[in-house]
Every structure is written in C-alpha cells, then in structure tokens.
Amino acid sequence: MTEFNRIGIVGRPGHAGVATSLVRLFTFLQHKKVKIFMDELTASLVDSPLVEIIPKNELGTKCDLVIVVGGDGSMLNVAKYLASDSVPVIGINRGKLGFLTDILPGEIETKIEEFLAGEYSVEKRFLLDVSKITDNKQEYLGSALNDIVLHPGSAAQMIEFELFVDGKFVYSQGSDGLIMATPTGSTAYALSAGGPIMHPGLNAIVLAPMYPHSLSSRPIVVDGDSEIRLIVSAKGSLHPQISCDGDVKYTANERDEFLITKKVVPLRLIHPRNHSFYEACRSKLGWGSQLVRKDDKSN
C-alpha cells in the first residue's frame, strides 16, 4: 500500500464553494499525520501557519499526492505541472460536469479516508505535447490533458492548413480550425465538434475539424503514438493560434509548422474503487438508466 505523507492541495480562488471545501479538507487532514503543501493563492483561502507554501510547479516534486478542489478546468490547469513527476492526483468537484474531479463535496472525509487507507484505483491519462518546428529543430510550446487546438484567434474566420499523420499527407482544409483531443478530451471541446466519445483507456487521438468547408470532412481517430504535423497557411492579417486546454501558446505566421505527439509520462488520476467511466457518462451526459425488467421484484 502506498502511503501518502506529503499532500499538496490546489484550489481556485474566487469560488465560494471551493473555499468551503478547502477549509473542510484542510480541517480533516490536520488530524492525520501528513504534511500539507499549498501554492500561495490556495493557502490564502485557508490562512493557516500549518501550511507550507510552495510554487505550484513544485507540487509534483515535493508531494506524493495532490488533491485538486474545483472543476475540470482546475484539474487541467494543474495536470501539466504534475504529469512529468508521476504524482497521483485526486479531484474534488466544485464545478459543473466533473469528469476529472469526481469526488462530491459531501464525500470529502469518507473518500479521502479511503484513499489514505489504500482503497482506490489508479487511471493513467496521457497528455499531448505541441512543438513548433523550425529548420528541423523543435521548440516546445506546451502540453494539454484535453486538447490542442488550431483556431483563428479572436475572429471567427476560415483558416487553411495541411495535416500529416506519421509523415503521410491526410488533407488540406479550409475551416475554423482543428481539435486534436486525447480520450480525456473526447468528452470536452471535441464532443461539441461532433467527435466520438472515447474510453479513457484507449491509446488514440481524435482529430475533429471545426466547421470545415466540406461536407465530407469528418472527425477521424488515429493511433495515440502517431506524430501529427500541421502546416499553417496564414493569409493577410489573419494569424491562427495554437492553444493547449484553452490557453493560447503561440500565434502562427504563414508556413509555420507544428508537431503534436503523446507525452511520455501520463497523469495518474485516482478514483474510488467503484468508479465507472460509463456511470460518469450516464450521470453527466444524461444517458438513460437500465430498463426495468419484468422479473425485477423491486417494483
């Protein structure tokens, strides 16, 4: 059984529910023999001398467990700091859907107690890296747990680009852009663009065009170990942008080239033992429950 003795906590300021859950979580952990770390903004919501304040990007190296209090966006923001250090992460949901933060606020004490006792399951979620290629040299731009998106920026205008997968030309396209999503991100932006829902255990990437100027241009799924290359055609004053989980990383010029690949080290996401991806889809996407059978004596 893995022992969690050094626990990091991250929360999003400006949300009353987050502050309430942070205090509740901190009060519970104070009675355990653990050392608690927080970044400066999170610590300001708790205001206790018993917290050791460290930069957010050091949580992965100083802690053996990190608890994120907030919505899926909070988890996305923290994931890029934690994946490379293989530190496991728990999410307490104070957002809307909560695909990544699946512990309810009212379950904090019960579920954290179970996790500290070793009663949990671990799920590995891979991230995507994006780099700019110049003269055969790669310049790292960022990472994403959900998706990397090529888009026109602030204005809704058509952009043109070429897509290559593993060195093979796929197509050139005129559209509002392209969403390159992990299985984790398949239930996010890519889903809104008509992409498929992928089980998080799949080693696959969905490529979902945004409003393509072609009725035959549909989302496609490629191997997760594929090398995806984009060559951008920027016209006039229009300069497309590359975003990682909604955070703009680069504004492109004409003929800029980008490489998207799977990050070597995945994020280790902790769930309760009875966690089910399909149950999460039913509750959060409004799927139907099991049909009542005639031999069901409960009715």
Whether residues 239 and 214 fall in one domain: yes
Using pLDDT thresholds of 50, 70 and 90, give the confidence band for residue 1.
very low
Write down the catalytic residue from 39, 64, 72, 129. 72
Q: How many CA atoms lie within 13 A of 72 on its CB side?
A: 17
In-domain check, residue 295: no
For the chain, percent of residues with pLDDT exceeding 90: 65
In-domain check, residue 294: no
Q: What pLDDT sits at residue 225?
A: 98
Whether residues 249 and 150 fall in one domain: yes
Note whether 221 and 198 are within 8 A (CB): yes
Rg of the chain over CA atoms, in angstroms?
21
Whether residues 150 and 209 fall in one domain: yes
Q: What pLDDT sits at residue 98?
A: 76
Mean pLDDT calculated for residue range 75-102: 86
Sheet hosting strand 220-223, strand order edge to edge:
220-223, 204-210, 177-181, 147-151, 241-244, 247-251
Mean pLDDT calculated for residue range 169-188: 95
pTM over 0.95: no
Residues β-bridged to residue 163 = 171, 230
DSSP states along 260-277: EEE-SSPEEEEE-TT--H
Note whether 86 and 265 are within 8 A (CB): yes
Whether residues 215 and 256 fall in one domain: yes
Side chain identity, residue 237: S
Q: What pLDDT sits at residue 119?
A: 93
37: left (phi over 0), alpha (psi -120 to 50) or beta: beta
In-domain check, residue 256: yes
Average pLDDT, the chain: 90
Number of domains in the chain: 2
Q: How many CA atoms lie within 13 A of 28 on its CB side?
A: 20
Q: What pLDDT sits at residue 185?
A: 96
Using pLDDT thresholds of 50, 70 and 90, give the confidence band for residue 223.
very high
Could you tell me the residue range of the domain that residue 140 belongs to? 128-262
Mean pLDDT calculated for residue range 268-293: 87
Residue 171 CB neighbour total at 10 angstroms: 14
Q: What pLDDT sits at residue 94?
A: 86
Q: What pLDDT sits at residue 85?
A: 85
Whether residues 258 and 144 fall in one domain: yes
The enclosing H or E element of 42 equals: helix 40-46
DSSP states along 165-225: ETTEEEEEEEESEEEEE-TGGGGTHHHHTTPPP--TT--EEEEEEES-SSTT---EEEETT
Q: What pLDDT sits at residue 216?
A: 86
Q: What pLDDT sits at residue 236?
A: 60
Whether residues 92 and 108 fall in one domain: yes
In-domain check, residue 291: no
Whether residues 240 and 202 fall in one domain: yes
Whether 296 is catalytic: no
In-domain check, residue 214: yes
Among residues 220, 221, 202, which one has the least CA distance to residue 266? 202
Helices and strands counted in the chain (H then E): 7, 19
Query: What CATH number is associated with residue 193?
Result: 2.60.200.30
Whether residues 153 and 105 fall in one domain: no
Q: What pLDDT sits at residue 237?
A: 65
Whether residues 132 and 147 fall in one domain: yes
Whether residues 29 and 149 fall in one domain: no
In-domain check, residue 290: no
Query: What CATH number is associated with residue 16?
Result: 3.40.50.10330
Q: For residue 82, report the phi and psi dihedrals to the nearest 5 degrees.
A: -105, -30
Q: How many angstroms separate the Cα of 68 from the Cα of each of 38, 64, 220?
A: 10, 14, 32
In-domain check, residue 104: yes
Q: For residue 44, report the phi and psi dihedrals to the nearest 5 degrees.
A: -65, -20
Whether residues 110 and 150 fall in one domain: no
Whether residues 223 and 149 fall in one domain: yes
Using pLDDT thresholds of 50, 70 and 90, give the confidence band for residue 2.
low
Q: What pLDDT sits at residue 299?
A: 47
In-domain check, residue 296: no
